[in-house]
Amino acid sequence: MSDGALRVLDGTHLEAVDLSPPAPDASVTGAQILDVVHSRVSSCLSGLQLPKTLGASALARISTNDIDAFRSAVFDREKALEILRHYVAAIAHELKDDPLVVTVLDGSTLRLFLEDEDDFAMLAEDLFTDLDVEDKGKISKSKIRNALVQMGIEMGVPPFSEFPQLNDILSKHGVDGEEGLGQAQFAQLLQTVLQDLVDALFQKHVVLIQNTKVINGSKLRQLLINEKELDDIAEKILLEKNLGEDGPGSIDTIRSFLERNAKDLGLPHSEADEAVTLLYDDVFGDVVKENSDIELHKDELIHFSCANGGREGVSRIANHKNWIINVSPGPWETKIQIIDKNI
């Protein structure tokens, strides 16, 4: 796949995991089972190392709470195979409930730059101009490191912290020296370094987990099968409406509640982007037209939210397109971005 493209890991990739016994004719320890599963899962996820939190949650699903005891325990072939299959299935369920969004860097984007002489010449010129802050017409060789950082993931260059081989490539070409380079010399050295980087990434891809949340309806589906939670939500909607000035609840009340409690219910925030508002309008449009004037009391509200407006609304959202919501940890972060999952 191309560098910089987002990929959603929702468990479906694990259908191709090898489920054969870790040791055909011998007993194995729990530690060996974990190592085998992690290796096989990683190969199906573009080389991504399984995050510890994901592995721990998956183990909890198969009632393996004492990790140390599990790792030292010895299992026969049949039991080991059962645990292996259950563990892979648990990882797939975890990813289905809370998918990961990753970027895979495999050298593709860099190769495109290198193959197009005009594009590369423009890139090298822009980088040189930005790095030549004193406008001397020369910069030190060590500035190549800054150029790679400036190019970043968007252009297919992995962070140094995630790909230590970058340091080896730079050392190979003596980039840490202070020798001055003109624009042509800089472009030539940059081209050589990038070509080595392309070859290295081709041999070993870099997979980066993005700070991105996928809203795919999984949490809503869990809610829809839990009548008690639905009843509690209906009670809250009714209470909030009764405390207000508009009288008994209506479909507008249900929508308002869902939007205000979006995070807890696994819904996208309507304030995040105009596309989310349009999503809510699409989901509730027909329901609002038919039922906006209906006033509901407690029993009717519970029935209506479970059987019609609320259940229909959240069901339609759950079965709508998956949306990837960029998680912003603070109020001053960049605008939340919504991306169609099918990318």
Nearest to 323 by CA among 255, 270, 268, 260: 268
**28 inside domain:** yes
Q: Based on the domain organization, do 75 and 185 belong to the same domain?
A: no
Contact indicator for 251, 289 with CB cutoff of 8 Å:
no
Q: Looking at residue 63, what is its pLDDT?
A: 76
Cα distances from 226 to residues 222, 229, 249, 306, 318, in angstroms, run 7, 6, 22, 10, 15
**318 inside domain:** yes
Residue with tokens 């993005």: 210
Q: Based on the domain organization, do 155 and 94 belong to the same domain?
A: no
Contact indicator for 204, 168 with CB cutoff of 8 Å:
no
The domain spanning residue 171 has which CATH number? 1.10.238
Q: Based on the domain organization, do 203 and 114 belong to the same domain?
A: yes
Q: Based on the domain organization, do 197 and 232 belong to the same domain?
A: no
**6 inside domain:** no
| Residue 94 lies in domain | 11-101
- 3-class state of residue 267 by DSSP: coil
Contact indicator for 265, 320 with CB cutoff of 8 Å:
no
Q: Based on the domain organization, do 93 and 118 belong to the same domain?
A: no
Q: Based on the domain organization, do 96 and 112 belong to the same domain?
A: no
- Chosen domain end from 158, 176, 209: 209
Q: Based on the domain organization, do 273 and 287 belong to the same domain?
A: yes
Crossing angle of helices 274-291 and 309-318, rounded to 10°: 150
Q: Looking at residue 241, what is its pLDDT?
A: 64
Q: Based on the domain organization, do 266 and 316 belong to the same domain?
A: yes
Please state, in angstroms and rounded to a whole number, the distance separating the CA atoms of residues 301 and 295.
9
CA quadruple 128, 132, 135, 140: dihedral sign: negative
- Give backbone dihedrals phi and psi of 230, rounded to 5 degrees, phi first: -65, -40
Q: Looking at residue 237, what is its pLDDT?
A: 79
Which structure tokens are listed for 262? Answer: 């979006």
Which structure tokens are listed for 209? Answer: 């987990």
**301 inside domain:** yes
- Chosen domain end from 209, 235, 253: 209
Q: Based on the domain organization, do 194 and 162 belong to the same domain?
A: yes
Cα distances from 88 to residues 37, 67, 257, in angstroms, run 7, 16, 37
Q: Looking at residue 250, what is its pLDDT?
A: 67
Q: Based on the domain organization, do 114 and 79 belong to the same domain?
A: no
Domain total for the chain?
A: 3
- 3-class state of residue 51 by DSSP: coil
Digitized pLDDT (tens) for each residue of the chain, 343 residues in all: 445 568 899 999 999 999 988 877 788 999 999 999 999 999 999 888 899 999 999 998 887 778 889 999 999 989 999 999 999 999 999 999 889 999 999 999 999 989 999 999 999 999 999 999 989 999 999 999 999 999 999 899 999 999 999 999 999 998 887 889 999 999 999 999 999 999 999 998 899 998 888 887 788 888 888 888 888 888 887 777 665 545 444 677 778 888 888 888 888 877 767 878 887 888 777 665 655 555 555 444 444 444 444 445 545 545 554 444 444 444 333 333 333 333 3
CA quadruple 170, 173, 177, 179: dihedral sign: negative
Cα dihedral 122→125→130→134 (10° resolution): -160
Which structure tokens are listed for 71? Answer: 């790792």
Mind giving me the DSSP string for 32-46? HHHHHHHHHHHHHTT
Q: Based on the domain organization, do 174 and 230 belong to the same domain?
A: no
**134 inside domain:** yes
**5 inside domain:** no
CA 77 to chain centre: 35
**322 inside domain:** yes
- Chosen domain end from 158, 189, 209: 209
Contact indicator for 107, 204 with CB cutoff of 8 Å:
no
Please state, in angstroms and rounded to a whole number, the distance separating the CA atoms of residues 50 and 30.
17
**226 inside domain:** yes
